[in-house]
Copies of this chain bind each other. A is one copy, B any other.
Amino acid sequence: MKDAKYDVLGIGNAIFDVLVRTDESFLAAHGMIKGGMALIDEARAASIYRDMGPAVEMSGGSAANTIVGIANLGARAAYVGKVKDDQIGRLYTHDIRAAGVAFETGPASDGPATGCSYILVTPDGERTMNTYLGAAQELMPGDIDDAQVAASAILYLEGYLWDPKNAKDAFVKASTIAHDAGRQVALTLSDSFCVDRYRGEFLDLMRNGTVDLVFANEAELHSLYQTADFDTALKQLRSDARLGVVTRSEKGCVVASKDRVTAVPAFPIDRMVDTTGAGDLFAAGFLFGLVRGAGHENAGRLGALAAAEIIQHIGARPQTSLKELAKDNGLPV
């Protein structure tokens, strides 16, 4: 196995976030399921946006947030995702490159606009996402650069890639290349409703070895195994994945391999502002830990630290140096 050029390569839906603080009643009035990610078409996007308050805009996208976090921590990171060559697509491209991430996916020159997620943040800090995939639907297997995948120590894929029509082929193609090059493949289950849509396929990916490492939060884990019992679900996860990492909000996380289970506490916070990106940044810290050869406990702590930073401000991209934050807290960087 050759030395890696990139520590982590992420593939995901490139989505621009439009974030608004709102009351619970807005969610009810618009038939939204709190805490979920709902796919919406252009008409519903227009209708939701029309009713939303003044927003803050920021680049987002689950795997992209993770990859930006990894670069912010100091590792070599690359991203593949599809925007359109429009104003928002150019903001998006700037932001991810400015974060130090290699991003060379050609933008779509026609078709739908760059994807946007309309994110409602309620007073408890919970976020409810309404995503118009837009140009993200145009991600094709041809957007995968074989050499780049083969040169990346970890390939990180989001479950959300099952939503656009051709991205799953890109996903499987990239996974095959990565494994052929002796690399590891990680998957985040993304969202409990996403798991509900693709449960069988996600389980197949784990059981047939397409993915080695799986990230899930509790709701996604329960949805995957259709059980309300955490221990039962965790046991099945340990049987299906080489390594499983389950985030449990303020209860911290559990890192589960075949031979052991390590529980890591959450990182203390002053104030919960917005959970957008909490899971994404947890994955960033954890993967960074793996890349640096940290054990499961320290990788979990790095994940908890990065998640704690992101939930204390609006938006899913770090607003401070995670590397400095990790150093200040005695974690290996």
A residues within 8 Å of B by Cβ? 18, 21, 49-50, 52-59, 68, 86-88, 91, 94-96, 98-99, 113, 314-315, 317, 319-320
Contact B21 A91 (CB under 8 A): no
Q: A55-B98, A87-B87 are in contact. List 15 more A-B contacts (CB 8 A).
A: A18-B91, A21-B319, A21-B320, A50-B94, A52-B98, A53-B98, A54-B59, A54-B99, A54-B317, A55-B58, A56-B57, A56-B315, A57-B91, A86-B87, A314-B319
A49 contact set on B, CB distance < 8 A: 94
Contact A53 B319 (CB under 8 A): no
Contact B98 A54 (CB under 8 A): yes
Q: Which residue of B lies closest to A51 (CB)?
A: B98
Measured CA separation A87–B45 after assembly (Å): 14
Contact B58 A56 (CB under 8 A): yes
Of the candidates A18, A88, A98, A113, the one having the most CB atoms from chain B within 10 angstroms of its own CB is A98
Of the candidates A52, A86, A95, the one having the most CB atoms from chain B within 10 angstroms of its own CB is A95
A54 contact set on B, CB distance < 8 A: 59, 68, 94-96, 98-99, 317
Measured CA separation A55–B315 after assembly (Å): 11
Q: Please give me the 5 A-B residue pairs with the lowest Cβ-Cβ distance, nearest first.
A: A57-B57, A87-B87, A54-B95, A54-B99, A54-B98
Listed A/B pairs (23) with beta-carbon separation below 8 Å: A18-B91, A21-B320, A50-B94, A52-B94, A52-B98, A53-B98, A54-B59, A54-B94, A54-B95, A54-B99, A54-B317, A55-B58, A55-B91, A55-B94, A55-B95, A56-B56, A56-B57, A56-B319, A57-B57, A57-B58, A86-B87, A87-B87, A87-B113
